[in-house]
Amino acid sequence: MRLPEDFISELKYRSDISDIASSYMQLKRRGRNLVGLCPFHGEKTPSFNIYTENGSFYCFGCGVGGDVITFIMKIENLDYMEAVKFLAQRAGMTVPEDSVDDSMSKLRTRVFEANREAARFYYSNLYSECGKGALSYLHQRALSDKTITRFGLGYSPNSRFALTNHLKKKGFTDSELLSANLVFKARSGNGVVDRFYDRVMFPIIDLRGNVIAFGGRIMSDQKPKYLNTSDTIVFNKSHNLFSLNNAKNSKTTRLILCEGYMDVIALNQAGFTEAVATLGTALTAEQATLMKRYCEEVVICYDADEAGQKATARAIQILRNAGLIVRVVTIPDGKDPDEFIRKNGDKGPSMFKAVLENSGNDVEYRLSKLKKSCDLSSPDGKLSYLTQAVKVLCAIDNDIERDIYASKLSAETDVEKNTIKEQIRKSVRSKQYKERATEFRKLQSDISGRDDKMNPEHHKNPRATVAERNLIAYFVNNPDKLSLINSNISADDFVTDFNRRLFDYFFSRIKEGKEPLNALSADFTSDEVSAIIAIISRNSDVAATDAALMEYISTIKEEKIRINSADIASASDSQLDSYLKMLKEKHQ
């Protein structure tokens, strides 16, 4: 069942999208709208727009759009009903439960409850007879009981049914446990078995304090060393970070990005509560965007081995693309943070602080790596170093910063600074040309409709699609034109199915006296909502006159009865008559 229309209207009225969004990001006024750096993808130039007149948002960079409910769904990773409840609680409203179909919301709640109960079970086992080995392992890693409790660490017993039996006694079903990925189906096909067994357990907690997943470390040489929860309805490993729930409260504008759970926990115990880690995957653009909400600078603190260095190089670019300042820590003797702090005992925290403060930025790190790999005493080595260094410097946006590093390169290589700067300029021009070419190809694709997934008929009917979009945007922004539109065109006149569906939807709502965009989040998928807001925002400035409206209608009707040359042979007499009649009327 649908939520009452008046409830949604009141909820949106009390949940001004400008106020809601500004609590997650910085916004600036631009005319009637607000703009800012998109919270859903990394960018350096603001492309995220809030349209205050209709309470919608749209990002011209990543194509995400919607209303305030959609915004909360995306930024808090909630489903529709959870987002509504989130906003209702904030606004002091009560959701009319009789109208709610929240089966998915209830399942999510049960998954959260199962995870929380599993975390309690694992923790209790750690301090039981069966968990002595695991507790000893954690103590050997220099973790205190206070730290163990703070992170809720635990132990999954060496049994394939321990957690399963425990949770079933608590009333959880096989289906709920499978949805949480705490179990998987037995090979025999009868029942389920525990996913984690005989491992030290690390609960993964989201920003609202929910246990959303687990990581488990084996204490032997078996593989895999770490086992992580797969993606579920409450967890996506590419969109979350371990210990961000702690780091967001640290009194600093930076985050320390580590490779694994133990590094993060060791740093937290040493007083560096801003440490976070990815969850069994390489750093993603989504994680970088998430970090940008809570910091201005990220310090990469990966292992010094070859894999760690490759991961560092990749992470630098992702973090820079997200608009973050990046520094890189190089720990002495190739140790990881956990080992470095343990090896130095009581001095460990202060020594790590010194290493942290002496860390260079990402440019210095990359240039240092290049320099070590090249023999500057030979012409070939010097040329190789300069060629690769120029590529690094051309990625810097700040001209002053480029100039500083050009001076350093000149001093290191005895090559004229102006020569180096000219090479940088050439490289920058080449990069800009490639970027413009990419933008041009994207624009061509947008115009042609080749990649229009929402409206696959766009590519074959570009003229009709543009006119249909203009008409829809005009109609939504000018609902008082209902009578004029109704007397001149109907949904049956539309050429493309998707736009026909939108016109019919908005026509019905406006005819019933409802606000056109009020129920988008309930009536369309997330991708469809983005496509709809794109149509309205991109076409909001089209000519809003009766003459322009009639031109859109005329174009749609022409395209509707247009007969391609390939279709003439198979056209019926009535189709040909209609086509000829249209041509005569057009040229009278």
pLDDT tens digits for range 17-32: 999 999 999 999 988 8
User: What pLDDT, on the 0 to 100 scale, is given for residue 210?
Assistant: 94
Residue that wins the pLDDT comparison between 573 and 235 = 235
User: What pLDDT, on the 0 to 100 scale, is given for residue 104?
Assistant: 80
- Three-state DSSP class for residue 311: helix
pLDDT digits (tens, 9 = 90+) for 139-168: 999 999 999 999 999 999 999 999 999 999
d(CA 291, CA 294): 6
545: nearest Cα among 588, 492, 498, 481? 481
Identify whether the C-beta of residue 40 lies closer than 8 Å to the C-beta of residue 64.
Answer: yes
User: What pLDDT, on the 0 to 100 scale, is given for residue 578?
Assistant: 65
Q: State how beta strands 275-277 and 33-36 pair.
A: unpaired
Residue that wins the pLDDT comparison between 549 and 221 = 549
Instruction: Provide mean pLDDT across the span 60-75.
Output: 94
Identify whether the C-beta of residue 126 lies closer than 8 Å to the C-beta of residue 156.
Answer: no
DSSP, res 403: H
User: What pLDDT, on the 0 to 100 scale, is given for residue 542?
Assistant: 61
Token digits of residue 217: 């470390």
d(CA 324, CA 306): 24
Confidence of residue 228 (pLDDT cuts 50, 70, 90): very high
Identify whether the C-beta of residue 322 lies closer than 8 Å to the C-beta of residue 44.
Answer: no
Reported as half-sphere exposure (CB side, CA atoms, 13 A), residue 93 has a value of 19
Identify whether the C-beta of residue 151 lies closer than 8 Å to the C-beta of residue 101.
Answer: no
Confidence of residue 237 (pLDDT cuts 50, 70, 90): very high
d(CA 545, CA 58): 25
Q: Work out the end-to-end distance of the chain between its first and last CA atoms, rounded to an integer number of angstroms.
A: 53
Q: Where does residue 102 rank: exposed (0-12), middle (13-18), buried (19+ CB within 10 A)? A: middle
d(CA 181, CA 160): 14
Q: Which of 195-204, 262-271, 298-307, 447-456 has the lowest mean pLDDT?
A: 447-456
Confidence of residue 254 (pLDDT cuts 50, 70, 90): very high
Percent composition of the chain: helix, strand, coil (DSSP 3-state, to 5) = 55, 10, 35
Does residue 65 register a pLDDT over 60? yes
d(CA 226, CA 242): 14
301 bridge partner residues = 258
Please report, rounded to a whole number, the percentage of residues in the chain having pLDDT higher than 70: 93
Highest mean pLDDT (candidates 119-128, 297-306, 307-316, 349-358): 119-128
Please report, rounded to a whole number, the percentage of residues in the chain having pLDDT higher than 90: 64
Q: Which residues are CB-contacts of 150 (< 8 A; sequence separation ≥ 6)?
A: 268
User: What pLDDT, on the 0 to 100 scale, is given for residue 349?
Assistant: 94
pLDDT digits (tens, 9 = 90+) for 359-416: 889 998 899 889 988 988 899 999 999 999 999 998 888 889 889 999 999 998 999 9
Identify whether the C-beta of residue 14 lies closer than 8 Å to the C-beta of residue 524.
Answer: no
User: What pLDDT, on the 0 to 100 scale, is given for residue 489?
Assistant: 95
Q: State how beta strands 360-361 and 325-328 pair.
A: antiparallel
Highest mean pLDDT (candidates 74-78, 271-275, 340-344, 543-547): 271-275
Identify whether the C-beta of residue 72 lies closer than 8 Å to the C-beta of residue 78.
Answer: yes
User: What pLDDT, on the 0 to 100 scale, is given for residue 437?
Assistant: 84
Q: Where does residue 6 rank: exposed (0-12), middle (13-18), buried (19+ CB within 10 A)? A: exposed
Q: Where does residue 248 rank: exposed (0-12), middle (13-18), buried (19+ CB within 10 A)? A: middle
User: What pLDDT, on the 0 to 100 scale, is given for residue 99?
Assistant: 60
Does residue 568 register a pLDDT over 70? no
User: What pLDDT, on the 0 to 100 scale, is given for residue 582?
Assistant: 59
Residue that wins the pLDDT comparison between 59 and 570 = 59
Confidence of residue 581 (pLDDT cuts 50, 70, 90): low
Identify whether the C-beta of residue 63 lies closer than 8 Å to the C-beta of residue 47.
Answer: no
d(CA 478, CA 381): 67
Identify whether the C-beta of residue 331 lies closer than 8 Å to the C-beta of residue 354.
Answer: no
Token digits of residue 475: 């109609």
Does residue 445 register a pLDDT over 90? no
pLDDT digits (tens, 9 = 90+) for 296-327: 899 999 988 888 888 999 999 999 888 899 99
pLDDT digits (tens, 9 = 90+) for 164-194: 999 999 999 999 999 999 999 988 778 899 9
Token digits of residue 461: 């009917």
Q: Which residues are CB-contacts of 203 (< 8 A; sequence separation ≥ 6)?
A: 115, 119, 122, 151, 152, 153, 154, 211, 213, 214
Predicted TM-score of the model (pTM): 0.78
Does residue 89 register a pLDDT over 90? yes
Token digits of residue 171: 């009333």
Instruction: Provide mean pLDDT across the span 413-435.
Output: 89
Mean pLDDT, the chain, integer: 89
Q: State how beta strands 56-59 and 65-67 pair.
A: antiparallel
| Number of Cβ within a 10 Å radius of residue 11 | 20
Backbone angles phi, psi at 384, to 5 degrees: -60, -45
Cα diameter, the chain: 95
